[in-house]
Amino acid sequence: MATDKTFFLETFGCQMNAHDSEKVVGTLEHEGYRRVETEDAADLILYNTCSIRDKAEQKVFNRLNDYKKLYKQGKRFAVLGCVAQQEGEKIFERAPYVSIVAGSASYRKLPEMLVQLEAGQKRITGLDDRQTDETFETEFTARTNPYRGYITIIEGCDKFCAYCVVPYTRGKERSRTSTSVLNEARRMADSGYTEIQLLGQNVNSYLDPEGKQSFAELLAAVGQVPGIRRVRFMTSHPRHFTREIVEAIEAFPTLCDHVHLPVQSGSSDVLRRMNREYTREQYLERISWIQAAKRPISLTTDIIVGFPGETLADFEQTSDLLTKVGFDAVFAFKFSPRPNTPAITMDDSIPDGEKSSRLQALLDQQRETQRAIYNRQIGSILEVMVEGHNPQKGQIMGRSSQNKTVNFTNSQLILPAPGSYVNVLVTQGFPNSLVGEAVTLQ
């Protein structure tokens, strides 16, 4: 009987959500549920939602409407993730056929929730909000990729940037012990993983509950786990970005040549109103540490355009900061007012058309910057981790330590397996990818 319970899970949002889903899948499987590939084949349909931007909650409600008829067929529904936490019991009002509403800070209680569901209970909630000090750790994580895996080192966020829902949807900051992180890294290495991505909304706010290791020390320790060839970490907050982190990257080649450091705006005035806790100058100082490193470290960032009160002069400061730094990639978004956040009460009077043209101007500028950066790599030999093949184009796809996409050909007859590492001579550069030829197979 137990083996006959099936579930379908769909995930939206960031890497934290993607990884939460891997843990949720592992937990469900441990509870006797079997994952299926279609909603049709499932008894339980789970929907892991994101509410970072746009009208996310509206999209969720629209989707839930579609489920009405499936409920009549006996299927049950769980809404997880940030929209679940944000909207809470309101979801039951608008979609009475939903049985479980749970935010990420409550996932460790999923087994209990499943028991309640099976007992026929309705309106089961896991809405821990900012109450919990616990993290969601499970040995049953069902990782989707067999050679690159995530490890959450810190959950939640205490930063309260004026525009951001995360402190309300993911609870307060709580770090895992370095012992438990390292044990997980060793277990992963033992089962064949060579790349680890350490995750957290603010990875560098990491505070070891055992007091053993700083974030930089933890990075170094994960980088020294035998078998691990690449370590990445996401997302760093500029306020807590230390020289020690750069020194760790310099000292341990397994730590990838890449830092994602969201700046959000190039104007100190806007940064202050965003409650980012750093100025333009302080941000640029951190960039100078990274750019002075012994190895070239790629830099990527996030930008919000059209934050309430952003003047043209503020915007030009952002554009100027992009020129000064020369980022390897920029993820830029139009400001979107989010429920519960302080910015929702601010004067969001910049017309949408103006936000769009500022966004477009940044993207155009950035494309040219990237064209130059990617072209500069022509002639260099990069170590690439193979991700897949494109038989139509006869190309192998992979990623460099700097996190750049590399498409390459291989004159040797063997096709390198996904997860293997190949040295590639770069022959061409595009704004978002490199092209090359394999020089040795390792």
Confirm or reject binding of residue 16 to ligand SF4 (CB under 6 A).
yes
Q: How many Cβ atoms sit within 10 Å of the Cβ of residue 352?
A: 10
Instruction: Return d(Cα 364, Cα 326) in angstroms, integer.
Output: 13
Report what 50 binds from ligand 5AD, ligand SF4, none; CB cut-off 5-8 Å by kind. Answer: ligand SF4
Q: Considering beta carbons, is residue 108 or 170 the nearer one to ligand SF4?
A: 170
Q: How many Cβ atoms sit within 10 Å of the Cβ of residue 245?
A: 24
CB of 20 to ligand SF4, least distance (A): 8
Which of 17, 202, 213, 369 touches ligand SF4 (CB under 6 A)? 17
Contact letters for ligand 5AD, residues 42-81 (x by CB under 6 A): ----------xx----------------------------
Confirm or reject binding of residue 264 to ligand SF4 (CB under 6 A).
no
Q: Considering beta carbons, is residue 305 or 424 the nearer one to ligand 5AD?
A: 305
Radius of gyration of the chain from its Cα atoms, rounded to whole angstroms: 23
Confirm or reject binding of residue 240 to ligand 5AD (CB under 6 A).
no
Alpha helices, H only, 205-308? 215-223, 243-251, 268-274, 280-291
Q: Which stretch binds ligand SF4 (CB under 6 A): 44-52, 109-117, 125-133, 254-262?
A: 44-52
Which of 51, 366, 377, 400 touches ligand SF4 (CB under 6 A)? 51
Q: Dihedral sign for Cα 371, 373, 374, 375, please.
A: positive
Residue nearest to ligand 5AD (CB): 302
Confirm or reject binding of residue 14 to ligand SF4 (CB under 6 A).
yes
Confirm or reject binding of residue 196 to ligand 5AD (CB under 6 A).
no
Interactions with ligand SF4, residue window 149-168 (CB under 6 A): 165-166
Which of 79, 164, 196, 422 touches ligand 5AD (CB under 6 A)? 164
User: Quick check: 304 and 346 in contact, CB under 8 A?
Assistant: no
Planar angle of CA 64, 86, 162, nearest 5 degrees = 135
Instruction: Return d(Cα 147, Cα 81) in angstroms, integer.
Output: 26
User: Quick check: 51 and 82 in contact, CB under 8 A?
Assistant: yes
Q: HSE of 67 in the Cβ direction (CA atoms, 13 Å)?
A: 26
CB of 372 to ligand SF4, least distance (A): 30
Report what 264 binds from ligand 5AD, ligand SF4, none; CB cut-off 5-8 Å by kind. Answer: ligand 5AD
Q: How many Cβ atoms sit within 10 Å of the Cβ of residue 403?
A: 17
Which of 125, 194, 205, 264 touches ligand 5AD (CB under 6 A)? 264
Confirm or reject binding of residue 302 to ligand 5AD (CB under 6 A).
yes
DSSP 423: E
Q: Considering beta carbons, is residue 252 or 333 the nearer one to ligand 5AD?
A: 333
Instruction: Return d(Cα 166, Cα 133) in angstroms, integer.
Output: 16
Contacts of 260 (CB under 8 A, 6+ apart): 234, 235, 236, 300, 301, 302
- Name the residues that contact ligand SF4, by CB under 6 A: 13-14, 16-17, 50-52, 81-82, 165-166, 169-170
- Name the residues that contact ligand 5AD, by CB under 6 A: 52-53, 163-164, 262, 264, 302, 304, 333, 335-336, 338
